[in-house]
Amino acid sequence: MFDTFLSILKISLKAISANKMRAALTSLGIVIGVAAVITMLAVGSGTQQSMAERFSRFGTNILYLRQPWDLDESISSPKDVTMDDVRAIRQIPGVEAAAPYISSGFDVKYGYTSTSIDVLATDTDIFKTYDWEIGSGREFTEREVDSYAQVAVLGATVAETIFNDVDPIGKTVIFDEIPFTVIGVMKKNGQGGMGFDMDEGTLIPYTTGKVKMNTGWNSSDRRALDRVIIRVKDFNTIEDTKTDIQNAVRNTHRIHPLAKDDFQLDDFASFVEQAKEASKTMSLLLGVIGVVSLVVGGIGVMNIMLVSVTERTREIGIRMAIGATSADIRLQFLAEAVTLSCIGGLIGVVLGVGVTLVVAAKATSIPAELSLFSILLSVGFSAATGVFFGFYPAYKASKLTPIDALRYE
């Protein structure tokens, strides 16, 4: 049995090598398909892992209070989220910290250097809600918040961009014509919750922002917040704490017991799950694109094998005349199709791994994570493609009769 298999494999390789260019072009579809599957699954998996790691830094005990993006039409006079809500939330035993959050873009200048940054106006609780760490200098204090101090804590990338190698602590920067003293620089932290990138941003006291910055803010303490960032003390009691927060905010908004909430309280764990689901969907779509490429390559294999059957009809007749059975003929052509697909699959693996490591991981900084599963899946699928699309040409060849095959011209 093994000798028969080796004999058929030698015949297949000889037939393939007899027309190298056609074999190479036939395998090209499989090569591209396998490389696409490996690269796309690696990028999808890497993106999913990167997203999970990014979110995990903020913990699942973070809540966001905000106005709904799709406010219920039955709510006639919704209230804004304000500092009144922040103060009420801070009284809840299960809450560790609650920080006001208003972000806006500004031009910042120092000497001849100017750049655009995101500024987050908040208070001292922001340092308790997120695990952001000061690299040099210090945080602003409650006294500075209460006194409307013009102080700023810069993100690591912002500090590098503006000051280069100069120590920024104590220097004065200009935010839209308003001078601020740099009192601290953050360590590299990465993107914060709800899209604020601390490395690319700057923190200033909430009170200073609402009074002195040219953003349409005013001195009213009831100025609407973008949101409130809330850190819960114990994740195990987060549902009870959410209920307490909802009751506290309903009370400050004076909502009737039978009326609906005019605010939204988001659980950060739900954002994590949504992100994971979105990432899985993306991975699935990328994988489908790769599989489609493989199927197209398989169709090319079938097309060439049908041409090969036609060209080698007399050869089939001679083999049958000297004793080859229909099963032998069918196995020969099926082996050729599988061999073509497997050769293309192996080349595709090398190409896919190379593209993933060189292009995805290095050249474009796209997160990518190679896995043995995706490689084995691609090779297995390429072999299955050869079997599936090679069966019909092999079956057609095996159905030829020796007399008709020998008479074919």
Q: Report pLDDT digits (tens) over 165-185.
A: 889 999 999 988 889 999 999
The sign of the dihedral angle between the CA atoms of 234, 239, 240, 244 is positive
pLDDT at 26: 73
Residue 51 has pLDDT above 60, yes or no: yes
pLDDT at 250: 92
Residues with Cβ within 8 Å of 342's Cβ and at least 6 positions away in sequence, in order, are 379, 382, 383, 386
Q: Where are the alpha helices (DSSP H) in 266-400?
A: 268-311, 313-321, 326-355, 372-398
More confident residue, 52 or 143: 143
The pTM (predicted TM-score) of the whole model is 0.57
Residue 118 tokens, joined = 């995101």
pLDDT at 222: 47
pLDDT at 364: 55
91 pLDDT tier (thresholds 50, 70, 90): very high
More confident residue, 212 or 120: 120
214 pLDDT tier (thresholds 50, 70, 90): very low
What is the distance between the alpha carbons of residues 290 and 243, in angstroms, rounded to a whole number?
46
The mean pLDDT value of the chain amounts to 78
Top mean-pLDDT range of 41-55, 182-196, 201-215, 238-252 = 238-252
Averaged over 205-214, what is the pLDDT? Answer: 77
CA-closest candidate to residue 104, choices 225, 190, 21, 221: 225
Return the half-sphere exposure (C-beta side, CA atoms, 13 A cut-off) of residue 177: 4
